[in-house]
């Protein structure tokens, strides 16, 4: 399986070349083109049903439905995927040792045999109002992430505080705690920086230049109210 | 202080290395990442009553964050809208900013909100403007690309597109081409700037984006 990133810039997309027997998983809805010999199987990754799975789905702000693509006739095929928002994509080559954690809204796709494991951020994550669900992606294989805006790779060595809305993905060697920015909860909320993640350790971290939630909020205030 | 603007003109963001003790005033919510030694203090701009009035009439951000720390550190700021970040050095001078365009300034700059008068209600920029005054570094952001124009005389700008201007400029709200075109063209109201000075104009405007999107929303 080979992946090429196309049209770098605000409208980045990825083209996945499938050999016979290759599998590619993507966030369902990310596919925008596929060869006619490519078949799509939709699965969900929530473990167990019930209330918890539903909550997870809510908290993720993301459908947990995955599409798995493969060619049906033993030939080669192509699948093109793109995120909803404008911005850059990045391919992360996950090795067999170190899984990556990917913010729910940033996961675009990965090689089809890679293991995906949702990590829910608990009540705090739910109340933070942010997209706080991480997908643990275990390698080896390529992982595709999308961002709102520009993606920057940061080498964390020590500690770094990142607004929850700017986290795209990070190596699992980094530990993180969800917390507030200021000295008190009040300061933190008043400043508009509700929740941040404090990263510690050593590892790679991908951040996006813009916060989709903030953009949504600014736009939303100017839209007509929803009719009931 | 070392500063770096990344990602212009599409996804501009600002990275600043603060020296020990140095302070930065930041638009509330703009911090995207920072090193752990930095602390945040928030305050109301101009006190409680003006802030309340602004909230009611302008819907603008109530609070400012102040970041700094005894050992300094790096902070990155990102505007809510994708576009361009502009840096201006003020030397005992003043600049007028529309309310949504302020990003950050160093502590030598004093920020005041001013009610823009009745005309401001029609400017598409909110009823209040910010006046940045003093000596230091000022950063503001635009939705889309930004165009800096030197005005000698006058310039007409569509409402919603003005970002910042020298206080030597004055503006009035005007209708372009009479009532009929005001109602039907969408180019109706304009800000007519007069005088001599610089004006920064943004190439996109949020009310227009929202206006385009609204008919597609389903209740």
Hey, are the CB atoms on B6 and A209 less than 8 Å from each other?
A: yes
pLDDT of residue A62: 45
What is the domain count for chain B? 1
Task: Reply yes or no on whether the pLDDT at B64 is more than 70.
Answer: yes
Q: Is B86 exposed, middle or buried (0-12, 13-18, 19+ CB in 10 A)?
A: buried
pLDDT of residue A61: 46
Task: Reply yes or no on whether the pLDDT at A49 is more than 60.
Answer: no
Give chain A's radius of gyration (CA, Å): 18
- Give ∠ CA A40-A44-A49 in degrees, rounded to 5: 155
Q: Which residues in chain B touch residue A222, judged by CB atoms under 8 angstroms apart?
A: 206-207, 210-211
How much is the average pLDDT of A26-54? 75
**Cβ-based neighbours of A44, under 8 Å, separated by 6 or more:** A64, A65, A66
Residue of A210, A211, A213, A215 for testing the chain B interface, max B β-carbons within 10 Å:
A210
Mean pLDDT of chain B: 86
> pLDDT-based confidence at A65, cuts 50/70/90?
confident
Question: Which three-class secondary structure state does DSSP give residue A41?
Answer: strand
Smallest Cα distance from A88 to chain B, Å: 10
Give B 25-84 residues with CB within 8 A of chain A: 28-36, 38-42, 59, 61-63, 65, 78-82
Three-state SS string across chain B, please? CEEEEECCCCCCEEEEEECCCCEEEEECCCEEEECCCCEEEEEECCCHHHHHHHHHHHCCCCEEEEEECCCCEEEEECCCCCEEEEEEEEEEEEEEEEHHHEEEEECCEEEEEEECCHHHHCCCCCCEEEEEEEEEEEEEEEEECEEEEEEEEEEEEECCCEEEECCCCEEEEEECCHHHHHHHHCCCEEEEEEEEEEEEEECCCHHHHHHHHHHHCCC
Task: Reply yes or no on whether the pLDDT at A88 is more than 90.
Answer: yes
Task: Reply yes or no on whether the pLDDT at B79 is more than 90.
Answer: yes
| CA–CA gap between residue A212 and residue A228 (Å, rounded) | 25
Q: Which residues in chain A touch residue B207, judged by CB atoms under 8 angstroms apart?
A: 222
Model pLDDT for residues B120-158, shown as the tens digit of each residue: 766 666 667 889 999 999 999 999 999 999 999 999 898
How much is the average pLDDT of B42-52? 71
Mean pLDDT of chain A: 84
Task: Reply yes or no on whether the pLDDT at A164 is more than 80.
Answer: yes
Smallest Cα distance from B198 to chain A, Å: 27
Lowest mean pLDDT among A57-66, A195-204, B168-177: A57-66
pLDDT of residue B217: 81
Hey, are the CB atoms on A166 and B210 less than 8 Å from each other?
A: no
Task: Reply yes or no on whether the pLDDT at A47 is more than 60.
Answer: no
Model pLDDT for residues A91-127, shown as the tens digit of each residue: 999 999 999 999 988 999 999 999 988 887 666 555 5
Hey, are the CB atoms on A150 and B31 less than 8 Å from each other?
A: no
Task: Reply yes or no on whether the pLDDT at B180 is more than 80.
Answer: no
> pLDDT-based confidence at A228, cuts 50/70/90?
low
Query: Which domain range does residue B189 map to?
Result: 2-216
How much is the average pLDDT of A73-82? 93
Distances (CA, A) of A69 to A32, A43, A80, A91, B196: 13, 11, 11, 18, 62
Query: Which of A70, A26, A21 lies closest to A45 in space, CA to CA?
Result: A26
Hey, are the CB atoms on A182 and B42 less than 8 Å from each other?
A: yes
Model pLDDT for residues A18-28, shown as the tens digit of each residue: 999 999 999 88
pLDDT of residue B57: 57
CATH number for the domain spanning B186: value is 3.60.160.10
Interface A-B: count of C-beta contacts within 8 A: 123
Residue of A209, A214, A220, A224 for testing the chain B interface, max B β-carbons within 10 Å:
A209
Q: Which residues in chain A touch residue B29, judged by CB atoms under 8 angstroms apart?
A: 191-193, 214
Question: What residues form DSSP beta bridges with B193?
Answer: B155, B171
Distances (CA, A) of B164 to B98, B152, B193: 6, 16, 12
Domains of chain A are 2-220 (3.60.160.10)
Burial annotation A172-182 (CB, 10 A radius, 16+ → b, else e): bebebebebbb
Task: Reply yes or no on whether the pLDDT at A50 is more than 50.
Answer: no
Smallest Cα distance from B64 to chain A, Å: 6
pLDDT of residue A60: 47
pTM for this predicted structure? 0.85
Q: Does B9 touch chain A (CB under 8 A)?
A: no
Task: Reply yes or no on whether the pLDDT at A203 is more than 50.
Answer: yes
pLDDT of residue A68: 92
Model pLDDT for residues B95-107, shown as the tens digit of each residue: 999 888 999 999 9
- As for the ipTM of the complex, it is 0.82
How much is the average pLDDT of B47-51? 68
- In chain B, which residue's Cα lies nearest the Cα of A194? B29
Residue among A163, A191, A215 minimizing CB distance to B33? A163
Tell me what percent of the residues of chain B surpass a pLDDT of 70. Answer: 82
């Amino acid at each position: 399986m080979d992946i090429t990133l196309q049209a770098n810039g605000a409208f980045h997309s990825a083209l996945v070349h499938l050999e016979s027997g290759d599998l590619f998983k993507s966030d369902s809805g990310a596919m925008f083109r596929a060869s006619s010999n490519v078949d799509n199987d939709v699965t969900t990754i929530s473990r167990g049903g019930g209330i918890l799975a539903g909550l997870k789905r809510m908290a993720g702000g993301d459908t947990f439905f995955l599409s798995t693509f493969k060619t049906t006739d033993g030939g080669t095929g192509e699948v093109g995927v793109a995120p909803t928002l404008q911005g850059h994509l990045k391919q992360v080559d996950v090795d067999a040792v170190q899984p990556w954690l990917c913010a729910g809204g940033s996961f675009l796709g990965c090689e089809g045999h890679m293991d995906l494991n949702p990590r829910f951020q608990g009540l705090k994550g739910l109340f933070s109002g942010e997209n706080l669900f991480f997908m643990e992606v275990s390698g080896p294989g390529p992982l595709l992430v999308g961002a709102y805006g520009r993606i920057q790779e940061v080498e964390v060595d020590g500690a770094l505080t990142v607004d929850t809305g700017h986290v795209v993905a990070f190596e699992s060697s980094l530990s993180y705690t969800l917390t507030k920015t200021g000295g008190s909860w009040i300061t933190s909320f008043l400043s508009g920086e509700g929740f941040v993640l404090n990263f510690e350790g050593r590892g790679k971290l991908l951040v996006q230049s813009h916060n989709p939630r903030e953009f949504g909020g600014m736009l939303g205030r100017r839209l007509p109210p929803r009719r009931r | 202080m070392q500063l770096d603007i990344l990602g212009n003109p599409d996804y501009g963001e600002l990275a600043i290395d603060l020296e020990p003790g140095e302070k930065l005033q930041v638009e509330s919510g703009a911090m995207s990442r920072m090193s752990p030694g930095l602390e945040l203090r928030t305050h109301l701009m101009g006190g409680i009553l003006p802030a309340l009035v602004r909230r009611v009439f302008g819907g603008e951000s109530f609070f400012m964050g102040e970041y700094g720390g005894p050992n300094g550190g790096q902070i990155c700021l990102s505007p809510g809208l994708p576009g361009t970040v502009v840096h201006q050095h003020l030397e005992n001078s003043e600049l007028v900013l529309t309310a949504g365009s302020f990003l950050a300034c160093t502590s030598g700059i004093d920020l005041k909100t001013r009610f823009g008068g009745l005309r401001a209600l029609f400017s598409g920029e909110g009823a209040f403007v910010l006046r940045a005054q003093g000596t230091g570094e000022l950063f503001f952001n635009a939705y889309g690309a930004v165009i800096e124009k030197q005005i000698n005389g006058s310039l007409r700008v569509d409402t919603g597109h003005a970002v910042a201007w020298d206080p030597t400029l004055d503006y009035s709200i005007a209708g372009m081409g009479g009532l009929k075109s005001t109602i039907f063209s969408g180019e109706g109201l304009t800000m007519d700037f007069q005088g001599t000075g610089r004006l920064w104009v943004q190439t996109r405007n949020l009310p227009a984006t929202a206006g385009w999107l609204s008919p597609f929303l389903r209740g």
